[in-house]
Structure 1
């Protein structure tokens, strides 16, 4: 048995902001993927995944049947027979490792599932998002449901607000352009839950809430609009503002050893960095108008290009 592949994702814009109704834009990233597989003689790493699936199956059996019904008996039987999730998606890197697993389980074991082939109305998308949020909460404590949605549909998703999402198209990549979006490997893994709780703690302060609304969300929304319109000049101007705001107000989410590198990008305009997911480690997202310059400036780091302008 080998299930279909589910891909990783990148939230280009909207981290933290979407909790408070900013816009967001999430795109599939086909470099990493995962699939459900069987292995009767469980090896060390597959055993860990199998045990995690066992706990996940029990969790799913307690989800309200009004929301979604799973073939839990079949799932538990498959887990007993050695099913595991074979994934190349790095965990704790902000590219949706648990999202791909949630999508794979829903695809195989949900009854009356909403499929990619039908007419995906806003209602259906929102229903999927709610189901996926409930499922993924097992891994994160609180989930927006966006990562699994992206992985399940394998389409770019535009978040207009929490209850207004749509599948969208993004401008075709340029094969000749010098600009790029890239991933920078921080070399440390990040945990979502502690980062989100720091954010929620900060939200109790009026000053932080004002900054979020008047700077962070404003710049995020502008970046999403620019990216979708293909207005590169304006996009880089707004990404710089966003990068600056994150360095000033989201320092705990940026690994300490990257504070100077972050500032250097803002000072030289060779590249601008932003959080990829909740931060705290994993990948950092970079935007540059000249990839050669960025690669020189970041020569000590491994860059993965995810989109070319």
Structure 2
């Protein structure tokens, strides 16, 4: 089997609101990646068996979807996938599961790449990007109940994407800063999250008009963060990330693991670092923004940190 590697993704901005047709900025993260493999021996490695059983469940979901003729966007060679499942196919990956960096998105991208009939090539035309997003949204709904399709799209195209709306998504250049005191970093909470339950909680909140009203603030800060980041105006970025972080602390607190609430508030109050969700939250990775990475590292020394950008 020819191996195709699919990277993790990081949603820098736009968590949850991309489900409501608002802006987002997502990038591939090639430190973590995965590929479909058939075992080279008959060993019973528990990770291989678990991955194979998850792909089998995914196959069952896709088969039911196809029989109901709901999956109008693409056709998959489900017979070939079934045969490979019998051979023990698994997803060989170092992408942490439940950490908000697209473990399911990478698997969906890999399944599509291997088994799609009349596969759309990795063409960066807007029309193809929107079609792929629809396909991936349908496929990834197996894992999360509701999916924007953005995660598998990033993992498949392996390019930064600027999401302006559901029908306006484009490849975009991003800053390539590698020096400076400031940084954008990943912070590992050490606690996996269940994305499905977090999304259900968000959708439940959306049923209340009062929440819809205050969500407008979040969207405004989110838009300003994206604009400042793309312009490489990191002073303005930090000001708006602080507002965003404070908003999340007060209105999305269930999405912040309990152990992190004090750490989150400390960063805001002392203007040392500002944290935000990386994906659905509830655990996994959080994103950090700081003008002084060395100081932030001292304050967060209990946790594993990984720099994404320096400025």
Smaller-chain TM-score range?
over 0.9
SS in 1 for 2:76: coil
Give 2:78's aligned residue: 72
Maintained 8 Å contact 2:143/2:196: no
SS in 1 for 2:120: coil
SS in 1 for 2:207: coil
SS in 1 for 2:117: coil
Maintained 8 Å contact 1:2/1:38: no
Task: Answer yes or no: is 1:282 the counterpart of 2:284.
Answer: yes
SS in 2 for 1:284: strand
Q: How does 1:142-161 map to 2 (within 5 A)?
A: 142-161=146-165
Give 1:138's aligned residue: 142
Maintained 8 Å contact 2:7/2:28: yes
Deviations 1:27-63 (A, max 9, x none): 0011101000111524221011111111212222333
User: May I ask how many residue pairs the two structures share in their alignment?
Assistant: 305
- Residue 244 of structure 1 deviates from its aligned partner by 0.5
Q: TM-score, normalised by structure 1?
A: 0.96
Deviation >6 Å, runs of 4+: none
RMSD between superposed Cα atoms in Å: 1.2
| Structure 2 residues not aligned, in runs of 5+ | none
Mapped partners of 1:31, 1:286: distance in 2? 18
Mapped partners of 1:171, 1:304: distance in 2? 17
| Structure 1 residues not aligned, in runs of 5+ | none
Give 2:32's aligned residue: 32
Maintained 8 Å contact 1:181/1:286: yes
Task: Answer yes or no: is 1:171 the counterpart of 2:168.
Answer: no
Maintained 8 Å contact 1:22/1:220: no
Mapped partners of 1:281, 1:171: distance in 2? 27
Q: How does 1:157-306 map to 2 (within 5 A)?
A: 157-173=161-177, 175-213=178-216, 215-306=217-308
Deviations 1:45-104 (A, max 9, x none): 101111111121222233346310111111111111111101100000000000000001
- Residue 204 of structure 1 deviates from its aligned partner by 1.8
Maintained 8 Å contact 2:176/2:309: no
Give 1:55's aligned residue: 57
Mapped partners of 1:184, 1:255: distance in 2? 13
